[in-house]
Chain A
Amino acid sequence: MSLRHPKNSIKILSANSHPDLSNMICERLGLPLSNVKALELANNEDAILVGESLRDEDVYIIQTGCGGFEKLNDYVMELLLMIHACRTASARKITAVIPNFPYARQDRKDKSRVPISAKLVANLLTTAGCDHVITLDLHASQIQGFFSIPVDNLYAEPNVLKYIQSHFDNKDDIILVSPDVGGAKRVASLADKLDTMFALIHKERAKANVVSKMVLVGDVTDKVCILVDDMADTCGTLCKASDLLLEKGAKEVMAIVTHGIFSGNAICKLNQSNLKRVVCTNSMPLNNLQELCPKLEVIDISGTLSEAIRRLHNGESVSYLFNTAVF
Chain B
Amino acid sequence: MRDIVVFSGSSNRALTERICVNLGLVPGEVELKKFANGETSVRLCDSVREKDIFIVQSGSGKVNDNFMELLLTISACKMASAKRITVVCPLFFYSRQAESPSSKKGVPFLSGSTKHTLLDSVPSSPCSFSHRTSDQIPAPSLSSLNESAATSPHKTAKTTASDTNVISPSPLNPAVSSKSMKQQNVSISSSCNEKDSEHPRKHPYRSWISQSGTLIANSLTSAGADHIVTMDLHDPQFQGFFDIPVDNLYSKPLVQHYIVNYVSNYKDCVIVSPDAGGAKRATAIADSLGLQFALIHKERRQRVVEHPITAVSLGPYALAPISSSDNLIVHSPAQNSSTSNNSDSNGNSNNSAEKVVATTMLVGDVQGRVCVIVDDLVDTGTTVLRAARLLKEQGCVYVYAVITHGIFSGEALKKLKRSSSIDQVITSNTVDQTAHVEEYGKVNNEPLEVLDVSRIFAEAIRRINNGESVSLIYDQGW
Which residues of B lie under 8 Å from residue A105 when comparing CB positions? 39
Cβ of B303 < 8 Å from any Cβ of A?
A: no
How far apart are A20's CB and chain B's nearest CB, in angstroms? Answer: 19
How far apart are A130's CB and chain B's nearest CB, in angstroms? Answer: 11
Closest B residue, CB atoms, query A82: B210
Contact B219 A209 (CB under 8 A): no
> Given A47-B98, A49-B209, A77 and B108 touching (CB < 8 A)?
no
Contact B409 A127 (CB under 8 A): no
Give 1 or 0 for each of B177-215: 1 = CB within 8 Å of chain A CB: 000000000000000000000000001010111111011
Expressed in whole angstroms, the Cα–Cα distance for A47 and B63 within the complex equals 12
Query: How many contacts between A and B, using CB within 8 angstroms?
Result: 172
Contact A39 B107 (CB under 8 A): yes
Contact B98 A41 (CB under 8 A): yes
Contact B205 A51 (CB under 8 A): yes
Expressed in whole angstroms, the Cα–Cα distance for A84 and B222 within the complex equals 15
Neighbour of B75 across the interface among A81, A116, A234, CB < 8 A: A116
Which residues of B lie under 8 Å from residue A52 when comparing CB positions? 203, 205
Chain A interface, number of residues (Cβ within 8 angstroms)? 60
Give 1 or 0 for each of A21-64: 1 = CB within 8 Å of chain B CB: 00000000000000100011111111111111100000000000
Give 1 or 0 for each of A104-133: 1 = CB within 8 Å of chain B CB: 011001011111110110011011100000
Which residues of B lie under 8 Å from residue A39 when comparing CB positions? 102, 106-108
How far apart are A155's CB and chain B's nearest CB, in angstroms? Answer: 22
> Given A44-B64, A263-B36, A111 and B43 touching (CB < 8 A)?
yes
Of residues 339 to 364 in B, which have CB atoms within 8 Å of A's CB atoms? Answer: none
Closest A residue, CB atoms, query B81: A113
Cβ of B55 < 8 Å from any Cβ of A?
A: no
Contact B38 A120 (CB under 8 A): no
Which residues of A lie under 8 Å from residue B64 when comparing CB positions? 44-46, 73-74, 76-77
Closest A residue, CB atoms, query B60: A43
Contact B380 A42 (CB under 8 A): yes
Neighbour of B72 across the interface among A50, A115, A126, CB < 8 A: A115
How far apart are B6's CB and chain A's nearest CB, in angstroms? Answer: 16
Cβ of A85 < 8 Å from any Cβ of B?
A: yes
Which residues of B lie under 8 Å from residue A128 when comparing CB positions? 215, 218-219
Cβ of B223 < 8 Å from any Cβ of A?
A: yes
Contact A53 B205 (CB under 8 A): yes
Give 1 or 0 for each of A67-91: 1 = CB within 8 Å of chain B CB: 1111111101100111011001100
16 new A-B contacts, CB < 8 A, other than A43-B110, A263-B36, are A44-B409, A49-B108, A49-B209, A49-B210, A52-B205, A67-B38, A68-B37, A72-B37, A73-B67, A84-B210, A84-B212, A106-B41, A111-B43, A117-B72, A263-B37, A263-B38
Enumerate the 4 nearest inter-chain pairs by beta-carbon distance, A residue then B residue, closest first.
Answer: A72-B38, A85-B210, A115-B75, A113-B44
Residues of A within 8 A of B (CB): 6, 35, 39-53, 67-74, 76-77, 80-82, 84-85, 88-89, 102-103, 105-106, 109, 111-117, 119-120, 123-124, 126-128, 208-209, 233-234, 261, 263-264
